[in-house]
Amino acid sequence: MSIKNRPLLPILAIAGNMVFAPLALATEYNTPVDLNSTTLVSGDKVIVDDQRNAVSSTTAGSGALQLGNGSITVELTNSIPDVSITGVNLTNKMDNDFGIGSTIDVKQTTPPTTNTVYNINAVNLGDQTNMSGSGLDIEVTGSGSAKGIIGTGNNIVDLGDGSKIKVESTTSSAGVVLNSSGKLIANGITIEANSNSMSTGIESSGADVDLGTGSKIIIETNAVSDVSYGVKLSGNAELTADNLTIETTTGKGILAGGTSTVKLGSNSKITSNGDGIATLGTDVNVEADSLTIETSGSNGYGINMNNGAHSVDLGSNSKITTTGTTSTGVWMVGRNDATFTAEALTIHTIGSSANAIDVRRGSATISAGSVLQSDNAGTVAVYAASGSTASATINDSKLISGGSYAALSQGANSTVNLNNVEIEVDRNGSPAYALWATGGGGKINVNGMNLQGAAGVYGIVANNQGKVTLQGDITLNALSGVAMIADGTGGSITGTGKMNITGQLAAQNSALVDLSMTSGSVLNGAVTQSSGGVANLALNNSTWTFDNDSSINNLALSNNSKVNFQTATDGVLTVNNLSGNGIFSMRTDLLNNSGDLIQVTGTTAGSHRLTVANSGSDTTDGTETLTLVNTADGQGSFGLTSNVELGGYVYSLRQTGTDWELYSSDTTSSAADASASFLNVSYLMNYAETQTLLQRMGDLRQGSEQDNVWVRFFYGNFDSFSNHKLGSFDMDYHGFQLGADKSFTFSQGDLYTGAFVGLTNSSQDYASGDGSLKSKSIGVYATYIMNSGAYLDGILKYQHHKNKLNVTDTQGNAVYGNGSSDGFSASIEGGHRFNFGENRTGWYVEPQVQLSYSWQDSTTIDNSNGLKVELDSYDSLLSRVGVLIGYEVNKADRAPVNFYFKNSWLHEFTGETSYKLNGSKEEISFKGDAWVSGVGASVLVNKSHTFYLDMEKTMGNKFDQAHINIGYRFSF
């Protein structure tokens, strides 16, 4: 034995004196050390070359390594090929203490010359032989089966804190191998294993492994290998760790076989080119919390629950990410009673054919806050082959798919349960199914869902006896236009709840779609049934809008549910059995005798209403009819929510045989009525502004031959009666005229010539709104008062009328319109006053006659609802014959006060005109008679100021009027 002694002489100070304390000498050994004959102490080094062992103890019960807090260095370098070597070989069935910080370095420098695989071990432990230590540094390098620590059975290996094991081999490498029951204990250990074919961090065949907190295992294999592992368990081994890190370039992060158990605590992370965790045994259980798994290779499953896997529980906030082809996040194929559970789980698969969760046997339960995302494959797949049962339950979570489906249930014993989930599917325009039940009876049960499907994505598909059941709040938006398809015998989609669905519903080839939509539900899309398929809808206070012709077996409507036609052309809704009470919103095209149609081929029951959209722009003439409802039995009842305005006419609904049709009630619409009434309004305004001489200037006989300036104010009201198809209305007005004239005196009398301007405003009160008219006028006049008592008065006036209307149609929509026109009026009035007293005092009688002509130009009103009303021009020739009986009161040589009452008869000679409602011509006439009665007074003050008042009441067969006129004239 070659020994080199190195004395260690610590200098101690005792009571001020220097003394030397001789201690054990650290020794360097250059030949193998047998612990049965040599005791290694702290600081010793065993450095040997070309030997089978560096340190050994092979006698049971003796030769234990006992370093306490000390450490040793063992280095074994072998250049001899084709031999097995071990740095420390212990088979003493004792507890061996490797101290703190010991180093073991074993190197095989010469590759083998044969195909035989030789062992290269740092530490070999025989049966029932144990080791302990802390901060150990173990390294193995060579060609062969290299292991850091190998225990043949029943070994307890306690590596304390911060130990390191690094094993490199061209053949295979392993950090720690325990071949039977026992235990590995370590905290914060780092294990690195590198080889060209197979590498393992820890392999346990029945021994428990406790890696404490913060341990790290790094596995590198320089070739593609499926037999490399971060941790490999078999038998009844149990792995316990917290914040464990496993990194593998190939193979699996953890392989758990037999009846082993994996407990990864919190915040562990596995990065692997193969499976993150794979189970292969008879009864394997895995527990973790906040676990992160990342895999990058093809077929690299995040969790591979193969044969024997019993349960995997990932606790809360775990995360699985895979990037390789066919690298499913969670793969369950082992046993029917296997379970996978997790809460707030995130799974993201990126590669093609890589589902987020794929259950072939067993059950997976994903709870609140989870996000399952597959970029290029399905998200949740459940496929139970014959003899298998499989299910997946997703609660309060989100599914995101860029592949062919978000959730698939295939096979008679396959079930997917989705509770309060959000689903997004986008395959960049390629076909995909968001929910797909198929394969001989796959089942999907949904209780609360928000599904958003991009272009090309069908919302729900049930075929080949697949069944989908919906309940709770359901939102489904399918941009492909297809929300649900049930196809084939036994295929069904059924549901009850509050639903918001966009897309078509289709039942085909003897399949069933049956939905009961509760209050507040909305369906936007057609419903079709074909080849024996059956589609049923029950709507409660809900709305269905379809954009293509629809066919349905049973349609039950309650609480005023609404059905809206929105097809591009005339839509047809075919119903076998209609019941309840609903509101159908429909459209018509009377010009082409076409429109939306409800067709009931079986039984009709209930009381339904139709809302037909008003259309002021339609070209109608009020004679059209159109069938809106066609039934086989004529039962039930149908009515309109409101009469319909089409063009300028109002239409109602009536039953004809077993059908219900739209027909005109021979009345015009509110907008047509108000627009055409502009004719009445203008006519009445011209009448109101046409004054008598007394109304304009008072009694000119009360003044001398002087010039005058005058103003009059007037106010009145018309009650206009119905005129042809136009409704009655009330009209208030008020206005003024201001004028001036010059007098000329002749031997037979006085001539007055002058001009005036006027402004009048009026408001109309229609049955469904109101209107206004502003009239501006300018005119000239000439009046000749003869000394004999006769007079003659002539007026010529120009007027401009500006009309506005604001009404509501039969469906409460506001309609606006306006128009303007110009016109002129001319009037000539004559009469003679016969006084019964002298000097024009006392009673008198004055017969009068007046002839007035007016003309108003045509105009067009373009109403906001599209109704175009063309008003023709008209003229009016109105005669008045009357008598005035008065009494004059004289002072001195004057007659300053004049009281009178009057009666006249009016007759309209012409006044015939027409109007067109979107081209449909209607006639109107103002011809008729009226009787006018009134009283008045004219008072002269101080020779220059005349005040006058005139009130009258007109009653006729076209209108009634009340009018008051107040004036003032200044003479100078």
What's the pLDDT score for residue 127?
95
Tens-place pLDDT, residues 297-317 = 899 999 999 987 889 999 999
What does the pLDDT read at residue 19?
39
Q: What's the pLDDT score for residue 15?
A: 36
Q: In terms of Cα–Cα distance, which of 961, 971, 969 is closest to 690?
A: 961
Does residue 4 have a pLDDT over 80?
A: no
Q: Which two tokens stand for residue 674?
A: 């108000």
- Residue 14, pLDDT > 50, answer no
Q: How far apart are CA 359 and CA 347, in angstroms?
A: 15
User: What percent of the chain is modeled with pLDDT above 90?
Assistant: 80
List Cα–Cα distances, 818 to 187, 771, 811, 860, in angstroms. Answer: 91, 9, 21, 8
Per-residue pLDDT reduced to its tens digit, 757-809: 999 999 999 888 999 999 999 999 999 999 888 999 999 999 999 999 999 99
pLDDT tens by residue, 927-949: 999 999 999 999 988 888 999 99
**Could you read off the pLDDT of 591-624 as tens digits, one per residue?**
889 999 999 999 999 999 999 989 999 899 999 9
Q: What is the pLDDT of residue 6?
A: 39
Model confidence over 246-271: pLDDT tens digits? 999 988 999 999 999 999 999 999 99
Give the pLDDT of residue 1.
Answer: 45
DSSP output for 6-61? E----EEEETTEEEE---PPEEEESS-EETTT----TT-EEEEES-SEEEEE-STT
The pLDDT assigned to 225 comes to 66
The answer to whether 544 and 583 have CB atoms below 8 angstroms apart is no
Provide the pLDDT for residue 12: 36
Instruction: Say if residue 22's pLDDT is above 80.
Output: no
pLDDT tens-digit series, residues 399-432: 999 999 999 999 999 999 999 999 999 999 999 9
User: Of the ranges 592-606, 817-831, 835-849, which one carries the lowest mean pLDDT score?
Assistant: 835-849
Q: How far apart are the first and last CA of the chain?
A: 158
Q: At 677, which helix (H) or strand (E)?
A: helix 670-689
pLDDT in tens, 649-690: 999 999 999 999 999 987 888 888 888 888 888 989 988 888
- What backbone phi and psi angles, to 5 degrees, belong to 701? -70, -15
The residue type of 958 is K
Give residue-wise pLDDT tens across range 851-862: 999 999 999 999
Length of the chain: 972
Q: Residue 512: its pLDDT value, please?
A: 98
For residue 753, the surrounding DSSP H or E stretch is strand 749-766
CB of 831 closer than 8 Å to CB of 846? yes
Using CA atoms, how far residue 506 sits from 184, 416, 460, 503, 534, in Å, is 62, 22, 10, 10, 9
> Mean of the pLDDT values across residues 469-495?
97
**Mind listing the pLDDT tens digit for each residue in 137-169?**
999 999 899 999 999 999 999 999 999 999 999
Measured in degrees and rounded to the nearest 5, phi and psi for residue 681 equal -60, -45
Which tokens go with 653? 């609904």
Q: How far is CA 70 from CA 35, 40, 89, 172, in A?
A: 16, 10, 19, 32
Residue whose structure tokens are 């067993």? 362
Answer for the pair 599, 628: CB distance below 8 angstroms, yes or no.
Answer: no
Amino acid, single-letter form, for residue 140: V
Count CB atoms within 10 A of the CB of residue 54: 27
Mean pLDDT for all residues in the chain? 92
Regarding beta strands 834-835 and 216-221, do their DSSP bridges make them parallel or antiparallel, or are they unpaired? unpaired
Asked if 455 and 430 count as a contact pair (C-beta separation under 8 A), the reply is no
Residue of 450 and 307 predicted with greater confidence: 450
Q: What is the pLDDT, as a whole number, of residue 891?
A: 64
Q: What is the pLDDT of residue 704?
A: 62
The structure's pTM equals 0.81
Q: Rounded to an integer, what distance in angstroms lies between the CA atom of residue 927 and that of residue 908?
A: 5
pLDDT over 90 at 908, yes or no: yes
Supply 151's token pair: 């225990």
C-alpha–C-alpha distance, residues 714 and 692, integer Å: 13
Q: Are 882 and 876 in contact (CB under 8 A)?
A: no
Q: Say whether pLDDT at 722 is over 60.
A: yes
Check pLDDT > 60 for residue 13.
no
Reply yes or no on whether the pLDDT at 895 is more than 60.
no
Q: What six digits make up the tokens of 312?
A: 């995997």
pLDDT reported for residue 705: 67
Please determine, for residue 352, whether its predicted confidence score (pLDDT) is greater than 60: yes
Alpha-carbon distance of 404 to 438, in angstroms, equals: 14
pLDDT at 7: 38
**C-alpha to C-alpha distance for 222 and 169, rounded to whole angstroms:** 10
Which band of pLDDT confidence, cut at 50, 70 and 90, is reported for residue 221?
A: confident
Q: Which domains does the chain possess?
A: 120-178 (no CATH), 595-668 (no CATH), 670-939+951-959 (2.40.128.130)
Using the predicted structure, report yes or no on whether residue 23 has a pLDDT greater than 70.
no
Chain centroid to CA 113: 72
d(CA 448, CA 474): 5
pLDDT of 588 > 50? The answer is: yes
* pLDDT value of residue 941: 85
Rounded Cα distance, 171 and 325, in Å? 28
